[in-house]
Amino acid sequence: MALVPFDDRDGWIWWDGQFVPWRESKLHVLSHGLHYASAVFEGERAYGGHIFKLREHTERLINSGRILGFEIPYTADEIDEACKATLAKNGQTDAYVRPIAWRGTEQLSVSAQATKIHLAIATWAWPNLFGENRMKGVRLGWAKWKRPHPETAPTASKAAGLYMIGTLSKHAAEAEGFDDALMLDWEGHISEATGANVFLVIDGELHTPTPINFLDGITRRTVMGLAKKRQIKVVERTIPKSDLARASEVFLAGTAAEVTPVRQVGEFTFTPAAITETLLKDYEALVRLPPEEVAARLAA
Ligand code: PMP
């Protein structure tokens, strides 16, 4: 599939409260967010006209900014409305939604106290992160880069800067023919893929790393809720790399990746089976429910 550059598309981008034509949504090159990665963003998906767990994404966005020391100058209600309005303005019902907040041009140095905070929201069609490879299971290579200790980087923020090691790891994995990379933490425990959280099925139970050094994904928490509804035991713990030898199934979970079966991680191979399939289908059904029914479906 030919890539259409992101600055050469039709549509509208919500920018600081106004709709700007897509091709005119240009940023000054001396923006602090570009030089010092002082930017936080979200990745959301709309299904059938509803943005799944919109308020949770909006709250995470606001909190990501606070972790980086800035306050996004809009309320959660205003951001929710702006996301919905952008989707509608672009005439989409099923799309990826990308709000991003960043520090502006008033000051260009490590210190950025005088910078204004901006917010933009774009939406575009994006079927699944792994495209056609997804259903037969993706192949993950080991990342050379380790997820940082939470005292080394603001790991609870969906901060642009944290994606530097993600892109490096994903590129290295792709160069070796893998679909993505599985990252370990600084002590060598399993952490996450470059844009999704990871789950292992061990003896019929669902095991997933405790979110200390990575984003506690909204999809991750949703999948944990769906598993509990199915009476599947969920265990959050530190998971050594060697536990992959005990896993019968492995899958990824994230907004862009949705639930994606994994058939290989480095030297380990897996066959996607019943638990992955059940949770994949449960997730697909859940995201298409009207927002007011989602919480009810997950409630015990
Ligand atoms: N980890 C990383 C690094 C991600 O980029 C994402 C996608 N936002 C996730 C995990 C999954 O988070 P969510 O389920 O909230 O999309």
Q: Can you tell me the mean pLDDT for 249-268?
A: 97
Identical fold between 12-124 and 131-299: no
- For residue 87, pLDDT beyond 80: yes
Q: What is the pLDDT of residue 1?
A: 55
Indicate the pairing of strand 117-124 with strand 138-142: unpaired
In ligand 1, the atom with minimum distance to the C-alpha of 197 is 10
Question: Which residues carry out catalysis?
Answer: 158
Task: State the pTM of this model.
Answer: 0.96
Helices 54-67 & 76-89 angle (0-180, nearest 10) = 120
Q: What is the pLDDT of residue 82?
A: 98
State which of 158, 185, 210, 279 you would mutate to test the pocket of ligand 1, scoring each by most atoms of that ligand within 8 A of its C-beta: 158
Q: What is the pLDDT of residue 277?
A: 95
> What is the domain partition of the chain in residue ranges?
12-124, 131-299
Atom 2 (ligand 1) nearest CA: 195
pLDDT tens-digit readout, 16-56 = 999 999 999 999 999 999 999 999 999 999 999 999 999 99
Q: Can you tell me the mean pLDDT for 261-289?
A: 96
Cα–Cα distance, 12 to 22 (Å, whole number): 5
Q: Can you tell me the mean pLDDT for 265-288?
A: 96
Q: What is the pLDDT of residue 128?
A: 83
Cα–Cα distance, 73 to 119 (Å, whole number): 8
Q: What is the pLDDT of residue 102?
A: 98
- For residue 132, pLDDT beyond 90: no
Atom 3 (ligand 1) nearest CA: 195
Domain 12-124 has CATH 3.20.20.70: no
Q: What is the mean pLDDT of the chain?
A: 96
Q: What is the pLDDT of residue 143?
A: 97
Q: What is the pLDDT of residue 127?
A: 85
Q: What angle do CA 197, 202, 206 make, to 5 degrees?
A: 45
State which CATH number among 3.40.50.11740, 3.20.20.140, 3.30.460.20, 3.20.10.10 fits the domain covering 131-299: 3.20.10.10
Q: What is the pLDDT of residue 116?
A: 98
Least confident of 97-106, 122-131, 173-182: 122-131
Q: What is the pLDDT of residue 241?
A: 96
Q: What is the pLDDT of residue 129?
A: 80
Element (H, E) at 121: strand 117-124
Q: Name the pLDDT band for 72 (thresholds 50, 70, 90).
A: very high
Q: Which residues line ligand 1 (CB under 6 A)?
A: 43, 166, 192, 195-197, 214-215, 217-220, 254-255
